Structure 1
């Protein structure tokens, strides 16, 4: 019997799509990811289905939307919420059934009490181990600039990004010495704020040469109240680009630092001569505003800065190099059925994602989705519910307690002009609302099961 391919899934936290060199958007240096992308398939329209760490990662494990699972926020929100229980389905167990050796490294976020070993992973290295290393080896290192970040005096070889890569390399070598196939999840904590790059990456980008985001001059005209309020909540309402540029430079720096760490992992596959037999996946749970629209972090907005994510897949035996796929895909929802199809494992009926195999094989697929739907359920500063539907031309955002948003992306790619109240666009709004409702309904989003909310969405008045 032929050996199944190894599966290496690398997930980073809060990585913008447009801040990888291969996207050709901003001058971020990611040579290892660029080379990796050129050797496989780059998805230019991959989206997060919910741009918050915990809920999105639970969906990745289980295949359903967070609203169906019951996880709406992160566990550190102070709000009591449900979580994906060990008794629930997880596709990692299906791999275990066909004798995969499964390992998990780094950020978890699926359950506040139960570890990956309860979900089909035999080996788990948690990120808390790195915190202990810091306390033991660098007790005098302190940071003062909170979420805005600063340069890190810890040498690069002792940074968390490179510790994560080291642990990944050790696990790859250990698993490869055994017979059979393996699956390893490597979860970097970066480039989540606060960004603290070590040398040489802390000095790689000159703040004076960082280009201003195309939507930095946001004035919040006709935008939901909470967006401008977010600036006051973070005390950044008076920040100019001169204030933001050093922060963005550090974001760039951490991205390049993680790229170097990922390069070390990919190099290990080459050294062990197993790259041909290994499916490698790279993606992020969501993006980061990082000064876009003058905002920080990712809450209360569904701008592309936070919902559009990188997705790269390489498998030399099955995927042609230099592929670029422009179809709309969900990274965390479409990956589980893709992996299961490759392994000839039955795909559960309750999965809401679709296998990417036909797209990867460059087959004609006229029935592939034409829209993407992203949800958000509030956190940190109050419960603020949003549902988004986006196609190539338009983005509509249903803000259930404030003004809705409508952006014509062809003319306004930076999402500055909210056109929700233009009478001439009423048919477009009605169509998008209808499509949004039915997708939410069929995928089990309890929000639209309420007749009141259904009426608000489908019969909302357009001034």
Structure 2
């Protein structure tokens, strides 16, 4: 049985990785990731199922849409089966290391793990209450580093690897690229204060009032964080036995860096938030035909891919598909024109099919249509000019809501009748 390592990086955009973007390569933002990826498969267009951690990770770790069990903000539903739980049943030794309160043990993300280190404080018998989690993080932003840094997280991971039983499943989630972005130049305390101030002023707010100098500072410090993470992630790469390990590197979502006058990530569904990196390095004995995959894929495909590589069969209906056929040149086994959905609960969705992408909410206030082939930056809203395309994609949204068993009242809020053919 192969070892499995899943590396997720919060808020990392593919266009800031050298093997995805020539400008990032020229700026040497990610030389270690680029070098590691030389023998890996790179998926050029991978779509996250949500623009933030609470919406993206339920799908990424289960292979089922986040809204299927309506458990985005309530803690994971017992009906949602995580990849850790599946592998645990097949005698995998499982461990996870992260520092994001949204994916802590308090929300059920420790299920199926023999060892789960979320680096959060524990208060009292029942642990740190969820309502205090974000207040705790904001306070820590000002007093010290906002999250456990990669160098410290790596020490925990490498210590565990030294004594890990095999086969193992290891999940590492890094927060270094997540805001507030802290410059490594000058006085670190002043940098923390400035970073926290700008982040809370700008993140997710249209009328942030940032001047050009402040906007430039945010972009440049984001790059600094990418470089910092790339430097330390190499410590993990150097300790991976590629002969018998399936390693997957991806992100939960992207980040707005001034596009659409937004910074950070929030309740929007633009490409800067949904387009994420996905790099897969297979065990050496598994043949690879295609190194660069153009077909649009999704976070939902990660769990089915892991199980396919391991040749494990489970009685679960996944919303994703294995990517192994694409990797091995059997493109006909992965439909290239299937709709891909990204969700913020059931009230605000994006559907992508072919060159078209519709962003819509049930109230009709945020209806936007883009031709991604001609307008990849989503600057030209064609909703009024292409009503027939809007209608077609809205029908796909209806079918999606029915497929995931959304509550009937949620479906009807969109103006859909349940019994309509």
**Superposition TM-score tier, normalisation by shorter sequence:** 0.7 to 0.9
Rounded Cα–Cα distance in structure 2 between residues aligned with 1:24 and 1:68? 34
SS in 1 for 2:116: strand
Task: Evaluate the alpha carbon distance shift between residue 415 and residue 289 of structure 1 in structure 2; reply closer, same or farther with a 3 A threshold.
Answer: same
CA-CA distance at 1:20 after TM superposition: 1.1
> Is structure 2 residue 31 aligned with structure 1 residue 34?
no
> Is structure 2 residue 282 aligned with structure 1 residue 318?
no
Task: Evaluate the alpha carbon distance shift between residue 319 and residue 240 of structure 1 in structure 2; reply closer, same or farther with a 3 A threshold.
Answer: farther
Match of 1:195 among 173, 178, 181: 181
Match of 2:155 among 142, 166, 171: 166
Measured against aligned partners, the alpha-carbon deviations of 1:116-161 in whole angstroms (never above 9, x if no partner) come to 55x11111222237xxxxxxxxxxxxxxxx89x99x998xxx9711
Rounded Cα–Cα distance in structure 2 between residues aligned with 1:349 and 1:128? 32
> Is structure 2 residue 267 aligned with structure 1 residue 265?
no
Count residues with an aligned counterpart: 381
Task: Evaluate the alpha carbon distance shift between residue 389 and residue 37 of structure 1 in structure 2; reply closer, same or farther with a 3 A threshold.
Answer: same
In structure 2, the gaps of 5 or more residues are 122-137, 189-201
Map of 2:116 onto structure 1: 124
In structure 1, the gaps of 5 or more residues are 74-81, 130-145, 203-226, 379-384
Match of 1:13 among 10, 15, 18: 10
Compare 399-408 and 247-256 and name the one that shifted more: 399-408
SS in 2 for 1:34: helix
Task: Evaluate the alpha carbon distance shift between residue 48 and residue 88 of structure 1 in structure 2; reply closer, same or farther with a 3 A threshold.
Answer: closer
Match of 1:408 among 371, 391, 396: 371
> Is structure 2 residue 400 aligned with structure 1 residue 439?
yes
SS in 1 for 2:7: strand
Rounded Cα–Cα distance in structure 2 between residues aligned with 1:250 and 1:111? 27
Rounded Cα–Cα distance in structure 1 between residues aligned with 2:270 and 2:175? 22
Measured against aligned partners, the alpha-carbon deviations of 1:415-440 in whole angstroms (never above 9, x if no partner) come to 11212111xx2222222222232233
Task: Evaluate the alpha carbon distance shift between residue 294 and residue 194 of structure 1 in structure 2; reply closer, same or farther with a 3 A threshold.
Answer: same
Match of 1:230 among 177, 201, 205: 205
SS in 1 for 2:76: coil
Measured against aligned partners, the alpha-carbon deviations of 1:38-86 in whole angstroms (never above 9, x if no partner) come to 211111110111122123222333332221222234xxxxxxxx22145
RMSD of aligned residue pairs (Cα, Å): 3.2
User: Counterparts of 1:306-345 in structure 2 under 5 Å?
Assistant: 306-315=273-282, 316-320=284-288, 323-331=291-299, 333-345=300-312
Rounded Cα–Cα distance in structure 2 between residues aligned with 1:228 and 1:103? 32
Q: TM-score by structure 2 length? A: 0.81
Match of 1:101 among 71, 93, 102: 93
User: Counterparts of 1:243-258 in structure 2 under 5 Å?
Assistant: 243-258=214-229
